[in-house]
């Protein structure tokens, strides 16, 4: 039982880092980045390629993945989302075109990674990192799990507090509420958008490195599945609430681990889909979201 | 011509079924309803046709008809349930509905064949039947794009508040688009499965949602012609892009992203806009001489020739 809880916490921490990146750009600058899953996967893939040529320790591998993620997301913003936002006439058409732009961008890294790996899972076998197994209160635990949980919860709480208290966080939230008024107040939207996308991409890269260390290997297609799970997490927590993302990530991970523990493995995917559906039906603003659901 | 047809028959048939799938997403989108329920009904239709053929020995026509009816009813019921959602939330709720169906059929036991799916549901269908269905559907949809009905649908999309102030029952139009998308999805799914003779849970995936959406956005979202153009582009692209070989998916991604940035109305939208500009320029050129200053002697001579 306790082992299951530990697994759920480790899984939830990875979900958290990934979903935070998605929620950050979506709830502030209004970009639901469909390339977030591909960014996640390709960051890990970049680190994988580097470790094939150089035996690096764990922090260096993580750093490479984080940098790769930030770079991909910045490029996505510069080449696709930025131009779309400048050209779009109204909010709804921009939303739709950002969705499509993200889908298009996502296809590129996926195609490259699938081509190079022949769609086989890849990992960090070239890294010098060896997981140490130790026991705490009779629980089997590895250093990987420890790193993941500490990083996940630390970053989750950090982003949440930063957005709630810092000056840039205030500016970002102002854009999320009313971007026109915010720019009249002197908020530089396009620069902040670039910074937000880079941060969001860095979080995707971190999630990619952590999950690959945890599982040993991930497949190129794993980004898409995670994208829908992250959506479920954001919807459950409520768009605009980073605290909600933290709760949502662990609730989803807990529910999935529970379903797995009951030997109902084929139903695991239904948890996130069902969650999206039920939450939107009963409480569209999510657990901690703003009261109004934006009408488009 | 005949040789070409027989060597490309699979592509021709899948163009027609994919067109129906794309229309099942385009019809609600044209009324401002961002719903992918049609893709879910594609899965439902496919499975109902396969179950009907394999387990109950239905005829091809009955199976297709049943799939369309069930698709319409399920989508209408879903529409009733989630009609208060809008925008991306509605989109994701319907994506969740679609993906839940694939989980349900994995766990459906003998009825749905589990993860392996169902085999041996070969229907008596040929390209002529598909073409007939597509023509009927397109003709029916044309009526919703022109005249008073077309203007009402446009009003519901562009400004729901204004539309209801003008006496249009917006909620009824929205629910109706759910039903239509369900029928179209059911038709597309059942005919695809009856042509291929197999259906597996993997056939109902997120990629199908993405495909339907990209077809519409790249082709154009305002008319069935846009869906047709987009379908032809995406079904035939692998054939045309064969020369780039393994990098086909990269080119695909670049094209989709470029279309999202540079072609807000899709290919047909850009073509219509270009044609209008051309016509206006010509009209201006034709109108200019009478309105202009008194022609110079040389110009008058030219004008006299025409």
The 10s digit of each residue's pLDDT in B104-156 is 998 888 888 888 888 888 888 888 889 999 999 999 999 888 888 999 998 98
Q: Do B210 and A103 touch (CB under 8 A)?
A: yes
Chain A residue closest in CA terms to B99? A273
String of DSSP letters for chain A: -HHHHHHHHHHHHHHHHHHHHHHHHHHHS----TTHHHHHHHHHHHHHHHHHHS---HHHHHHHHHHHHHHHHHHHIIIIIHHHHHH-SSHHHHHHHHHHHHHHHHHHHHHHHHHHHTT--EE-TTS---PPEEEETTEEEEHHHHHHHHHHHHHHHHHHHHHHHSHHHHHHHHHHH-HHHHHHTT--HHHHHHHHHHHHHHHHHHHHHHHHHHHSEE-TTHHHHHHHHHHHHHHHH-TT-HHHHHHHHHHHHHHHHHHHHTT-GGGHHHHHHHHHHHHHHH-TTTTT--SSPPP-
Q: Summarize the confidence of residues A23-49 as an average pLDDT.
A: 91
Query: Could you report the per-residue pLDDT of A88-135, keeping only the tens digit for each?
Result: 777 777 888 888 899 899 989 998 998 888 888 988 887 777 777 877
Residue to substitute from B261, B264, B266, B270, interface A, most A β-carbons within 10 A? B261
Q: Which of residues 249-278 of B touch A (CB under 8 A)?
A: 249-250, 252-261, 264
Whether B221 is in a domain gets the answer no
pLDDT at A5 over 50: yes
Whether B254 is in a domain gets the answer no
In the three-class reduction of DSSP (H, G, I as helix; E, B as strand; rest coil), residue B4 is classed as helix
Residue to substitute from A39, A223, A230, A277, interface B, most B β-carbons within 10 A? A277
B199 pairs with which residues across the strands?
B118
Which residue range is the domain that position B17 belongs to?
2-205
**Can you give the pLDDT at residue A20?**
93
Q: Summarize the confidence of residues A20-34 as an average pLDDT.
A: 89
| Among B22, B17, B47, B48, residue whose Cα is nearest residue B36 | B22
Residues in A touching B159 (Cβ below 8 Å): none
**Can you give the pLDDT at residue B294?**
53
**Can you give the pLDDT at residue A216?**
87
Q: Which of residues 220-249 of A touch B (CB under 8 A)?
A: 224, 228, 231-232, 235
Query: Could you report the per-residue pLDDT of B229-286, keeping only the tens digit for each?
Result: 999 988 888 777 777 777 778 888 888 888 888 887 888 888 888 888 899 888 888 8
Q: Do A284 and B85 touch (CB under 8 A)?
A: yes
Chain B residue closest in CA terms to A286? B89
Residue B19's pLDDT band, with cuts at 50, 70 and 90, is very high
**CA end-to-end span of chain A, whole Å?**
45
Whether B93 is in a domain gets the answer yes
Q: Which of residues 7-46 of B touch A (CB under 8 A)?
A: 34
Q: Looking at the 3D structure of chain B, how many domains does it have?
A: 1
Whether B249 is in a domain gets the answer no
Chain B residue closest in CA terms to A88? B264
Q: Summarize the confidence of residues A145-162 as an average pLDDT.
A: 90
């Amino acid at each position: 039982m306790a082992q299951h809880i530990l697994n759920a916490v480790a899984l939830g921490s990875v979900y958290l880092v990934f979903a935070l990146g998605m929620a950050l750009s979506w709830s502030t600058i209004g970009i639901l980045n469909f390339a977030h899953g591909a960014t996640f996967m390709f960051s890990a893939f970049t680190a994988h390629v580097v470790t094939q040529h150089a035996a690096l320790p764990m922090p260096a591998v993580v750093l490479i993945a984080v940098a790769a993620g930030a770079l991909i997301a910045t490029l996505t913003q510069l080449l696709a989302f930025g131009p779309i936002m400048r050209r779009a006439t109204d909010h709804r058409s921009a939303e739709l075109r950002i969705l499509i732009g993200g889908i298009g961008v996502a296809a590129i890294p996926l195609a490259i990674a699938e081509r190079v790996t022949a769609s086989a899972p890849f990992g960090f076998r070239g890294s010098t990192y060896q997981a140490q197994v130790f026991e705490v209160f009779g629980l089997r635990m590895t250093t990987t799990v420890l790193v993941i949980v500490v990083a996940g919860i630390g970053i989750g709480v950090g982003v949440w507090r930063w957005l709630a208290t810092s000056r840039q966080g205030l500016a970002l939230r102002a854009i999320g509420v009313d971007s026109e008024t915010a720019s009249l107040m002197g908020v530089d939207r396009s620069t902040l958008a670039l910074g937000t996308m880079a941060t969001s991409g860095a979080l995707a890269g971190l999630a990619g490195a952590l999950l690959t260390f945890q599982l040993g290997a991930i497949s190129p297609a794993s980004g898409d599945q995670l994208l829908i799970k992250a959506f479920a997490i954001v919807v459950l927590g409520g768009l605009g609430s980073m605290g909600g993302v933290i709760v949502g990530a662990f609730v989803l991970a807990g529910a999935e681990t529970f379903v797995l523990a009951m030997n109902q493995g084929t139903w695991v995917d239904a948890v996130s889909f069902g969650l999206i559906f039920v939450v939107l039906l009963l409480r569209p603003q999510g657990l901690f979201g703003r009261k109004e659901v934006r009408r488009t | 011509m005949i040789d070409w047809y027989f060597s490309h028959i699979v592509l021709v048939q899948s163009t027609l079924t994919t067109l129906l799938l794309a229309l099942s997403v385009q019809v609600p989108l044209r009324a401002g309803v961002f719903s992918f329920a049609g893709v879910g009904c594609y899965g439902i239709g496919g499975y109902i046709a396969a179950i009907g053929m394999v387990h109950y020995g239905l005829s091809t026509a009955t199976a297709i008809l049943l799939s369309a009816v069930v698709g319409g009813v399920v989508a209408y019921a879903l529409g009733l349930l989630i009609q208060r959602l809008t925008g991306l939330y509605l989109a994701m709720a319907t994506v969740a509905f679609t993906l839940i169906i694939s989980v349900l059929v994995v766990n459906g036991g003998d009825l749905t064949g589990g993860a392996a799916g169902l085999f041996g549901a070969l229907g008596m269908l040929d390209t002529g039947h598909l073409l007939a269905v597509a023509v009927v559907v397109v003709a029916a949809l044309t009526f919703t794009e022109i005249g008073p009905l077309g203007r009402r649908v446009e009003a519901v999309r562009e400004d729901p508040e204004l539309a209801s102030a003008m006496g249009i029952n917006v909620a009824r139009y929205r629910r109706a688009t759910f039903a239509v998308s369900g029928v179209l999805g059911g038709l597309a799914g059942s005919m695809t499965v009856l042509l291929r003779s197999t259906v597996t849970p993997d056939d109902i995936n997120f990629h199908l949602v993405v495909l339907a959406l990209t077809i519409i956005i790249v082709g154009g979202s305002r008319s069935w012609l846009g869906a047709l153009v987009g379908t032809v582009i995406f079904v035939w692209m692998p054939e045309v892009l064969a020369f780039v070989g393994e990098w086909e998916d990269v080119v695909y991604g670049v094209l989709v992203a470029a279309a999202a940035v540079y072609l807000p109305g899709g290919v047909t939208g850009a073509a219509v806009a270009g044609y209008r500009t051309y016509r206006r320029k010509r009209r201006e050129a034709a109108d200019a001489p009478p309105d202009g200053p008194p022609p110079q002697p040389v110009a008058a001579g030219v004008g006299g020739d025409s």
